[in-house]
Amino acid sequence: MKKLIIALLALSFHANAQVPYERLRNAAHERDNWLTYSGTYWSERYSALDQINKDNVDDLKVIWAYQMQPARNAGNGLVETTPIVVDGIMYVTEPPSTVTALDARSGKTLWTWSPNIPDEVKHIGFPRVNRGVAVLDDAVYVGTLDARLVSLDAATGAVRWDVEVGDNHIGFSLTLAPLAIKDKIIVGVSGAEAGVRGYVDAYDSATGELEWRFYTIPAPGDPGSETWQGDAWQTGGGSTWLTGSFDSELDLLYWTVGNPAPDWNGDVRPGDNLYSCSIIALRPDTGELQWHFQFTPHDTHDWDANQIPVLFDAEFNGEDRKIVALANRNAFFYLLDRETGEFLHGNEYSKQTWATGLDENGRPLVIPGSEPTYEGNLVWPSLQGATNWFSPSYNPETGQFFVATRLMGAIYYKSDVEYEEGEPFLGGGEQALSGDNASGAIRALDVMTGEQQWEFMLYSPPWAGVMATAGGVVFGGSNEGNIFALDADTGEPLWDFQSGGAVRTNPISFAVDGKQRIVSTGGSTLYVFGLE
Active site residues: 302
Report the candidate in 479, 461, 281 with the shortest Cα–Cα distance to residue 383. 461
3-state secondary structure 296-327: CCCCCCCCCCCCCCEEEEEEECCEEEEEEEEE
Burial class (CB in 10 A: 0-12, 13-18, 19+), 425: buried
CA distance 204 to 230: 35
Residue at 113: amino acid letter: W
Half-sphere exposure of 380 (CA within 13 A, CB side): 20
Residue at 311: amino acid letter: L
DSSP string, 341-357: --EEEEEE-S---SEEE
> Are residues 295 and 280 in contact, defined by beta-carbon separation less than 8 angstroms?
no
Burial class (CB in 10 A: 0-12, 13-18, 19+), 105: middle
> Are residues 403 and 445 in contact, defined by beta-carbon separation less than 8 angstroms?
yes
Other CB atoms within 10 A of residue 131 CB: 24
CA distance 57 to 471: 9
Other CB atoms within 10 A of residue 460 CB: 17
> Measuring CA to CA, how many Å separate 41 from each of 6, 183, 234?
35, 15, 32
